[in-house]
Amino acid sequence: MPNPFGKSRPADQPYAIFRAGDMTCHVLKTYKMVKNEDTYARWFVAAKSDATFGSFELGDTYALEVKRYGQLVAADPAWQEAYDTRPVPTVQEYLADA
């Protein structure tokens, strides 16, 4: 079974959105399936904060850091099922309210 989050998405259509303070992190791709993620699992993200002057910066980051410091605020239903998260709005609902 292929990784359901292994195909890159644009920053305005992420699989999930995490927030930590003034930083917003859009998950655009995961490199491993959920069951295979370990301490060194990476996610490709678009991050935005006051330090980026309101624009997104793209890059890889450790999934553990995003999950540890960020709070999930929106996700696709498939993401919620795969990561067994609490119910949150879909990405489209969240971005429509922003």
- Positions of E strands within the chain: 16-20, 23-30, 42-48, 57-62, 71-75
pLDDT tens string 35-55? 999 999 999 999 999 999 989
CA dist., res. 53 & res. 32, Å (int): 31
Q: Are 27 and 51 in contact (CB under 8 A)?
A: no
pLDDT tens string 5-44? 999 999 999 999 999 999 999 999 999 999 999 999 999 9
CA dist., res. 70 & res. 22, Å (int): 11
Q: pTM value?
A: 0.93
CA dist., res. 83 & res. 79, Å (int): 6
pLDDT tens string 45-96? 999 999 999 899 999 999 999 999 999 999 999 999 999 888 999 999 999 9
